Structure 1
Amino acid sequence: MTFTADTLVLFGATGDLARRMLLPSLAALDHDKLLDEDLRIVGTARSEMSDHDFRSFAREALEKFLPPQRRGSMADFLNRLSYQPLDVTADKGFDDLAAKVGKDRKLAIFLSTAPSLFETTIAGLSRVGLTSGDTRIGLEKPLGTDLASSCEINDAVAAAFPEDRIFRIDHYLGKETVQNLIALRFANVLFEPLWNARHIEDVQITVAETVGLEDRAGYYDGSGALRDMVQNHMLQLLALVAMEPPSGLSPDEVRDEKVKVLRAMRPVESGESVTGQYRGGASSGEIVPGYDEELGKPSDTETFVALKAHVDNWRWRGTPFYLRTGKRLPKRVTEIVVQFKCVPHSIFAGAKMQPNRLVIGIQPEENITLSLMAKVPGLDRDGMTLRSVPLNIAMPDAFSGKERRIAYERLLLDLIEGDQTLFVRRDEVEAQWRWIDAIRALWASEKLEPKTYSAGSWGPSAAIALAERDGVTWNE
């Protein structure tokens, strides 16, 4: 459904995500004149606030989380805002929200609430007529805890909205370097002919965090690293790396190719996964407690996962994908490492050959590095000396003068304007959950318990062994 919304309704408008990301992103878009001047933003949550109170709340959030150069006067943006208190478990509040929104609006709704409230929220919206007509809905993750609960949520949403009006958010897909994967692969003849099992030895995807539980203890202990990071962010990155060239860049053309990859993933077998849980140690120069100490009780929830994955299709059969994510690791980094195979025959007698390696940095630095073999300067009386040298493309430097936007700016603008390309389709979500559920079933059958690792390390030693027994070393 192609229309530009004239009203955006934010559920969970007083929550942490709204403070840190949603309101600053919308204000930045407003500052850059990317929002239609008639767009209204209606916040709603359980907190009792007036319009004035919500604008004051938003101003404080912008002063804290939005860089000064992107604020402007803020008055025009704050005047877009209004607020309606609503407890979604109390059905009567939806009538007041409908009155606040008004009739005959082109509506975009963003649910930044617990998924357990989605069904109740959508039922209330439907009762007061806020799901019909020109209306679309955005859903913040997580979408369930397994395939069954995900289907339940998706069924509830589908009862009120067709698929072309459902926008499931994975904020990693809004990052510039993630989108640049598509350009890197399909706009450069250099890479695509080599992008297959004949020429690529292995692929590593790492999402490392230095933080511990912070304020997410209740959610995280019921989720763990596999469901929190692998099920969504990491599998989406893998799908973009491994997908076939789409016939075009329409939302369904891209998502059709991603879902083919997800369906081709072989179930993880015994010995192809490692789980861990951090203990006390040194992280970011500070002594930090272990997970069980932060939680205040023993737990078997994993804070680290390493996996060896396989995509069983013609392009990738035989090339392993190593996935690794964890909390309290030595540095915050998200990167993709594509390790090419060695040249089939070296003519350089005695030279130590290093295969080419492509490193795509996603955060905190957005960059692309390609290592190439080059001759070391000299007379070479004893034979040519070679060394691996990097070609670096620092994205901010390569595109100086271009605004670097956070992911939610693009995703919120796409929700308002109706572009689904960077949002996840239902069949993608369900294919991801099938693969994850099989891993959890394997862990349960083997009674696998997380191995401990010290905060500030790269996880359990078994994760190193997982790769090294195949002759692979994690990129650190």
Structure 2
Amino acid sequence: MMLTLTGAKAQIANEEGTMVSRVIPVEDFDLVIFGSTGDLARRKIFPGLYRRFIAGQFPQGAQIIGAARTQQDTAAFRDEMRKAIVEFAGNPGKDAAKVEEFLQRLTYVSVDARGTTGWEELHEHMREGVVHAFYFSVAPALFGDIAQRLSQYGMADDDSRIVVEKPFGRDLVSARELNATLARHFREDQIYRIDHYLGKETVQNLMAVRFANILFEPLWNAQYVDHVQITVAETVGVAGRGEYYDQSGAIRDMVQNHMMQLLCLTAMEPPYHFDPNAVRDEKLKVIRALEPLEPDDIVRGQYLAGPDGPGYVEDVEHPDSRTESFVALKVRISNWRWQGTPFYLRTGKRLRARTSEIVITFKDPPHSIFDDDGVSPANQLVIKLQPNEGMHLTMMIKEPGPGGMRLVQVPLDMSFADALGANGTDMPDAYERLIMDVIRGNQTLFMRGDEVEAAWAWTDPIISGWEQSTRSPEPYDAGSSGPEEALRLLHRDDRRWREIRP
């Protein structure tokens, strides 16, 4: 058996060579979840915390405090969280005894974010000498009020940390104002701007594949990479959140944050060390190197009604809406590594399949010695983020059997579930990992303030151009790959989108 200690996990190779993880507990903490009765808390935060609890990552005294406007006592709150864990925690949530043990860690305090109710009681629950973390699972309009009251009631000490959810502003001006508001009460190293995409196992493995292996990094540049595609496709529409989405659209909801982070991790230079600021410095350089987009580099779309549901304008109840539910972009990076290699980004609702992936397409060999007319499928590295996390590399080999040298393309697959001896329910959810990183004080997978502002500085002119234009988004059929115009975005470069599939 081989043991390798890496941060909070011990990686162990058993007798069969399968990698398994031994979880190391974090230090003692008090975690306050503002907005604890909301949908995100019920679906992700509390089920994720429960899974970390049964994994043995909680210290003995750790406590979680729910805080919201709802008037209820701790017993009623625990009842609600019991239902959430059973529904959303997967198989571990069926262990009634463990669920009850976890619920004993929970307390509830009713607080008014813009008033005085509940703050003194909340302060009384906070223990001295432990990590104090505050998760703002609330509307961004309340971030400043909560930060101010944490300071006013003596809970914003030197060791406290706050976690803020997206959207972090809706443009550069509002993002700067929000950064300034939080900075009045907390240092930058205390602010954790969470993007759950960065907590996905495959996203972190992207850095490992690039920087821990000599195989790929020498090829990871414009000399050998033809182009890069980043796709985040969803099968659902915007029903149920139409009012929010119609004010945001795909570029604010997905491109400015999630897809920008994936772009940065794919394109960035090697940091001098796997250190929070070193990693984020390199991501910031990528954003600042992005060229402004030309109108022909952008495609917007809106899904139409189909057999499975209404169209976008019906979902948002706004028949004249010009907000996009789909966007495709051709992005260029002006630096030595990537000059001349385009990055194609697309994301949309009501598409053919739910999938998120990064596809690195390498250039063809400069000369073919085989009788294949000089045409063969390019090597591709496909990094699957969801639903089935893993990677595969397509390569050309000889087709088995007699009859000459016939080439065939085959994948070298690495499914995390198979390779790491895990299954879908055993792999930590992104929120689980990120919340534990907050307790550890590790900001590597969180966005820095200047990074957020740089992303908005690049995105704002795109949005402004759309607002000044009279052109409406291109319609596309629900269940398709998006509007035809998005296909032509690559066709004119003699390239093709990778098919959207699970």
User: How far is 1:5 from its partner?
Assistant: 5.2
1:386 aligns with 2:411: no
Match of 2:296 in 1: 271
The one-letter code sitting in structure 2 at the alignment partner of 1:316 is W
The one-letter code sitting in structure 2 at the alignment partner of 1:349 is D
1:348 aligns with 2:370: yes
The one-letter code sitting in structure 2 at the alignment partner of 1:24 is P
CA distance in 2, matches of 1:154, 1:350: 57
1:17 aligns with 2:40: yes
Alpha-carbon contact 1:135-1:165 (below 8 Å) kept: yes
CA distance in 1, matches of 2:237, 2:469: 27
CA distance in 2, matches of 1:190, 1:246: 18
CA distance in 1, matches of 2:128, 2:403: 80
Report the 3-state secondary structure (helix = DSSP H, G, I; strand = E; otherwise coil) of the residue aligned with 2:245. Answer: helix
1:464 aligns with 2:487: yes
Of 94, 109, 120, 1:95 maps to: 120
Match of 1:291 in 2: 312
Alpha-carbon contact 1:5-1:417 (below 8 Å) kept: no
Alpha-carbon contact 1:340-1:355 (below 8 Å) kept: yes
1:423 aligns with 2:446: yes
Q: Structure 1 unaligned runs (5+)?
A: none
Match of 1:447 in 2: 470
Q: Structure 2 unaligned runs (5+)?
A: 1-25
Runs of 4+ aligned structure 1 residues displaced above 6 Å come to: none
Structure 1 residues 219-272: Cα deviation after superposition (integer angstroms, max 9, x where no partner): 111111000000110010000000101111111111111111111111111200
Match of 2:247 in 1: 222
Structure 1 residues 11-60: Cα deviation after superposition (integer angstroms, max 9, x where no partner): 00000001000000011111011011111111100111101111111101
Match of 2:7 in 1: none
Alpha-carbon contact 1:281-1:454 (below 8 Å) kept: yes
Match of 1:410 in 2: 433
Report the 3-state secondary structure (helix = DSSP H, G, I; strand = E; otherwise coil) of the residue aligned with 2:227. Answer: strand
1:435 aligns with 2:469: no
Structure 1 residues 83-115: Cα deviation after superposition (integer angstroms, max 9, x where no partner): 100121223432232233355653111100000
CA distance in 2, matches of 1:14, 1:399: 35
Report the 3-state secondary structure (helix = DSSP H, G, I; strand = E; otherwise coil) of the residue aligned with 1:107. Answer: strand
Match of 2:62 in 1: 39
Alpha-carbon contact 2:51-2:92 (below 8 Å) kept: no
Taking a change above 3 Å as real, the CA distance of residues 278 and 227 of structure 1, as seen in their structure-2 partners, is: same
The one-letter code sitting in structure 2 at the alignment partner of 1:192 is E
- The residue correspondences of 1:167-186 to structure 2 (distance < 5 A) are 167-186=192-211
Alpha-carbon contact 1:30-1:77 (below 8 Å) kept: yes
Structure 1 residues 112-161: Cα deviation after superposition (integer angstroms, max 9, x where no partner): 00001111111111111111232111111110100111111111111111
The one-letter code sitting in structure 1 at the alignment partner of 2:30 is T
Of 237, 247, 269, 1:244 maps to: 269
1:311 aligns with 2:333: yes
Report the 3-state secondary structure (helix = DSSP H, G, I; strand = E; otherwise coil) of the residue aligned with 1:238. Answer: helix
CA RMSD of aligned residues (A): 1.5
Match of 1:374 in 2: 397
Report the 3-state secondary structure (helix = DSSP H, G, I; strand = E; otherwise coil) of the residue aligned with 1:29. Answer: helix
Of 122, 142, 155, 1:130 maps to: 155
Alpha-carbon contact 2:290-2:331 (below 8 Å) kept: yes
Alpha-carbon contact 1:5-1:107 (below 8 Å) kept: no
CA distance in 1, matches of 2:211, 2:129: 42
Of 128, 132, 151, 1:107 maps to: 132
The answer to which of 137-146 and 68-77 deviates more is 68-77
CA distance in 1, matches of 2:340, 2:28: 47
1:332 aligns with 2:354: yes
Report the 3-state secondary structure (helix = DSSP H, G, I; strand = E; otherwise coil) of the residue aligned with 2:436. Answer: helix
How many residues are paired up?
468
Percent identity between the aligned chains?
Answer: 49
Alpha-carbon contact 1:250-1:421 (below 8 Å) kept: yes
CA distance in 2, matches of 1:217, 1:93: 32
The one-letter code sitting in structure 1 at the alignment partner of 2:337 is R
Of 220, 233, 257, 1:232 maps to: 257
Match of 2:236 in 1: 211
The one-letter code sitting in structure 1 at the alignment partner of 2:154 is G
CA distance in 1, matches of 2:266, 2:401: 39
CA distance in 2, matches of 1:105, 1:354: 56
Match of 1:254 in 2: 279
Match of 2:182 in 1: 157
Match of 2:15 in 1: none
Match of 2:49 in 1: 26
CA distance in 2, matches of 1:400, 1:307: 37
- TM-score, with length taken from structure 2: 0.91
Alpha-carbon contact 1:4-1:418 (below 8 Å) kept: no
Taking a change above 3 Å as real, the CA distance of residues 204 and 401 of structure 1, as seen in their structure-2 partners, is: closer
The one-letter code sitting in structure 2 at the alignment partner of 1:337 is V
User: How far is 1:446 from its partner?
Assistant: 3.5
The one-letter code sitting in structure 2 at the alignment partner of 1:373 is M
Taking a change above 3 Å as real, the CA distance of residues 8 and 139 of structure 1, as seen in their structure-2 partners, is: same
Taking a change above 3 Å as real, the CA distance of residues 401 and 102 of structure 1, as seen in their structure-2 partners, is: closer
CA distance in 1, matches of 2:33, 2:229: 37
Alpha-carbon contact 2:260-2:455 (below 8 Å) kept: yes
